[in-house]
Structure 1
Amino acid sequence: MAETKLVAETRTAFGKGAARKIRRDHKIPAVLYGHGTDPVHITLPGHETMLALKVANALLEIEIEGSSQLALAKDVQRDPIKPVIDHVDLVIVRRGEKVTVDVAVTTEGEAGPETVVTVESQTLELEVLATRIPESVVVSVEGLTAGTQVLASQVELPEGATLVTDEETLVVNVTAQVTAEELEAELAEAEAEAGIERELSDEEEAEQAESEGDGDAASSDEEKTDEA
Structure 2
Amino acid sequence: MPETKTETIKAETRTEFGKGAARRIRRSDKVPAVVYGAGNEPSHLTLPGHAVMMAIKNGGSNALLYLDIEGKEVLALTKQVQADPIKGFLEHVDFVEVKRGQKVTVDVPVQLTGEPHPDALVVTENATVSLEAEATNIPEFIELSIEGVEVGTLIQASELQLPSGALLLDDDEMLIVNVTHAPTAEELEEELEEAEAEAGIERDESDEEAAEAESEGDSGSDSDGEGDSEGSSEEE
Match of 1:187 in 2: 192
1:162 aligns with 2:167: yes
* CA shift for structure 1 position 17: 3.3
Higher-Rg structure is 2
Write the distance in 2 (CA, Å) between the matches of 1:7 and 1:158: 31
Q: Deviations over 1:147-194 (max 9, x none)?
A: 111111222222221111232322111111111111112222222233
Q: Deviations over 1:103-161 (max 9, x none)?
A: 11111222223111122211111111110111111111122111111111222222221
* CA shift for structure 1 position 8: 0.8
Match of 1:222 in 2: none
TM-score (norm 1): 0.83
Match of 1:8 in 2: 11
Q: 1:132 aligns with which of 129, 137, 142?
A: 137
| Alignment-mate amino acid for residue 189 of structure 1 | E
In the TM superposition, what are the counterparts of 1:1-228 in structure 2 within 5 Å?
2-4=4-6, 5-54=8-57, 55-206=60-211
| Alignment-mate amino acid for residue 61 of structure 1 | Y
Any idea what SS the aligned residue of 1:103 has?
A: strand
Q: Is the 8 A contact 1:151 1:168 kept in 2?
A: yes
| Alignment-mate amino acid for residue 183 of structure 1 | L
Q: Is the 8 A contact 2:61 2:78 kept in 1?
A: no
Q: Is the 8 A contact 2:116 2:148 kept in 1?
A: yes
Any idea what SS the aligned residue of 2:164 has?
A: coil
Write the distance in 1 (CA, Å) between the matches of 2:23 and 2:200: 54
TM-score (norm 2): 0.81
Decide whether aligned partners of structure 1 residues 208 and 140 sit closer, same or farther in structure 2, where only a CA change above 3 A counts.
farther
Any idea what SS the aligned residue of 1:110 has?
A: coil
* CA shift for structure 1 position 62: 0.6
Q: Is the 8 A contact 2:30 2:47 kept in 1?
A: yes
Write the distance in 2 (CA, Å) between the matches of 1:171 and 1:207: 48
* CA shift for structure 1 position 80: 4.3
Structure 1 unaligned blocks of 5 or more: 218-228
Write the distance in 2 (CA, Å) between the matches of 1:172 and 1:119: 5
Structure 2 unaligned blocks of 5 or more: 224-236
* CA shift for structure 1 position 65: 2.5
* CA shift for structure 1 position 209: 6.9
Match of 1:225 in 2: none
More strand by share: 1
Write the distance in 1 (CA, Å) between the matches of 2:100 and 2:147: 37
Q: Deviations over 1:50-70 (max 9, x none)?
A: 111222211000112222010
Q: Is the 8 A contact 1:2 1:59 kept in 2?
A: no
Any idea what SS the aligned residue of 1:69 has?
A: strand
Any idea what SS the aligned residue of 1:48 has?
A: helix
Write the distance in 2 (CA, Å) between the matches of 1:27 and 1:96: 30
Q: How many residues align?
A: 215
| Alignment-mate amino acid for residue 121 of structure 2 | V
